[in-house]
């Protein structure tokens, strides 16, 4: 399956930006007193091209896949947990299932490359490239054809998803390793700074994980381009997510980025089309080592910092009400003129009389 990277334009719109700022400055509040809710409102307004933005039919997509590298013990859990958690998502029992339900967010699980065959059911899309990636210590995790198929799958699946906001989630035992490898190679940071406990490894196991990942990087020392790194270090779910991120950006959907693995997909996408980042809201800073450094590399300021390290899209779902609130402020909060409230400068002038 062929894949062509979509062009993502710069959404800088000086006139709209000025209107958004004027509206915020003239709400019945001290200037700038809603802090980052105001900057969030400006971001959403620019993405959606409106000074009265309204988010509708948000879609949280959980991209799932297995990793060949997991057989080397880089995770505290066996690979079977990937398909078992997919079943949990579909049954409505996972954390992200609860949070999506609570917030009225549509939830779709995509089998991008899970080592298990699922029966058809509501809420599941099967876009399986293969039954898990190859061992990145022996060769590329994905062939070029597999990588391009995953990217194309990610773009295509958005055709059937309504709404103007995409929330990113993922599931895949071993995928923190893939994300760490991508981060190290694409940012130039040492793999030790990019690698954490993942699903809960103890300190000696983390050191062993770092050693394995260092070997993988050495094995692929000649790989530097973003798409080449994506194929080498893998994650069918990460590659599919990259395709969705690029397509969502091209469609001017707001992209709500979850934690470490979702951010690694955005990292790859931004290396291909930098303006992707203009469409992104970063939900939170996770407890996974390396996430703060990756966010800093992207010059991204997350909304929340709750020590989360679950993945699934749980942080994106938790941050969602803040996005809804910021839009409501723009649309519904009274201005000084409409409410008949005196401004600060008017009050000061009266006091001088």
What's CA 186's distance to the chain center, in Å? 17
Q: What is the pLDDT along the chain (353 residues), one digit of tens a residue?
A: 789 999 999 999 999 999 999 999 999 999 999 999 999 999 999 999 999 999 999 999 999 999 999 999 999 899 999 999 999 999 999 999 999 999 999 999 999 999 999 999 999 999 999 999 999 999 999 999 999 999 999 999 999 999 999 999 999 999 999 999 999 999 999 999 999 988 889 999 999 999 999 999 999 999 999 999 999 999 999 999 999 999 999 999 999 999 999 999 999 999 999 999 999 999 999 999 999 999 999 999 999 999 999 999 999 999 999 999 999 999 999 999 998 898 865 544 434 54
Which one of 3.40.50.10210, 3.40.720.10, 3.40.50.150, 3.30.420.40 gives the CATH number of domain 59-320? 3.40.50.10210
- Percent of the chain residues topping a pLDDT of 70: 97
Burial bucket for residue 200 (CB in 10 Å: 0-12, 13-18, 19+): exposed
Contact 169, 308 (CB under 8 A): no
Residue 99's nearest CA partner among 298, 311, 345 is 311
Domain 14-54+328-352 is in which class? mainly alpha
In the three-class reduction of DSSP (H, G, I as helix; E, B as strand; rest coil), residue 50 is classed as coil
Domain locations in the chain? 14-54+328-352, 59-320
Contact 13, 46 (CB under 8 A): yes
* DSSP class per residue in 156-167: HGGGG--SSEEE
Residue 288 designated active-site: no
Catalytic residue among 38, 170, 237, 312: 312
Paired sense of beta strands 280-282 and 254-257, if any: parallel
How confident is the model over 266-313, as pLDDT tens digits? Answer: 999 999 999 999 999 999 999 999 999 999 999 999 999 999 999 999
Enter the pTM of the model.
0.95
Residue 68's nearest CA partner among 181, 234, 209 is 234
């Amino acid at each position: 399956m062929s894949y062509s990277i979509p062009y993502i334009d710069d959404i800088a719109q000086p006139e709209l930006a000025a209107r958004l700022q004027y509206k915020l400055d003239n709400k019945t509040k001290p200037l700038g007193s809603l802090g980052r809710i105001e900057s969030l409102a400006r971001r959403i307004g620019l993405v959606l091209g409106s000074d009265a933005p309204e988010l509708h039919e948000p879609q949280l997509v959980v991209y799932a896949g297995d990793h060949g590298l997991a057989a080397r013990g880089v995770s505290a859990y066996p690979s079977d947990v990937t398909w078992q958690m997919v079943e949990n998502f579909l049954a409505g029992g996972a954390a992200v299932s609860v949070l999506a339900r609570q917030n009225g967010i549509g939830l779709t699980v995509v089998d991008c490359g899970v080592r298990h065959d699922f029966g058809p059911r509501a809420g599941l899309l099967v876009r399986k490239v293969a039954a898990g990636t190859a061992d990145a210590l022996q060769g590329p995790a994905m062939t070029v054809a597999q990588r391009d198929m995953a990217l194309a799958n990610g773009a295509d699946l958005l055709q059937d998803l309504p709404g103007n906001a995409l929330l990113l989630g993922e599931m895949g035992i071993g995928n923190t390793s893939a994300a760490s490898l991508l981060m190290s190679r694409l940012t130039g940071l040492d793999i030790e700074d990019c690698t954490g406990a993942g699903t809960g490894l103890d300190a000696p196991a983390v050191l062993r994980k770092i050693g394995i990942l260092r070997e993988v990087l050495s094995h692929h020392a000649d790989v530097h381009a973003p798409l080449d790194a994506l194929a080498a270090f893998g994650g069918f779910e990460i590659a599919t997510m990259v395709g969705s991120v690029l397509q969502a950006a091209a469609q001017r959907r707001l992209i709500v980025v979850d934690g470490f693995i979702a951010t690694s997909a955005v990292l790859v996408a931004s290396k291909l089309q930098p303006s992707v980042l203009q469409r992104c809201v970063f939900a939170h800073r996770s407890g996974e080592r390396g996430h703060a450094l990756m966010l800093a590399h992207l010059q991204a300021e997350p909304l929340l910092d709750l020590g989360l390290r679950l993945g699934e899209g749980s942080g994106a779902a938790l941050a969602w009400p803040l996005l809804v609130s910021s839009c409501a402020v723009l649309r519904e909060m009274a201005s000084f003129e409409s409410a008949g409230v005196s401004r600060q400068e008017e009050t000061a002038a009266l006091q001088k009389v």
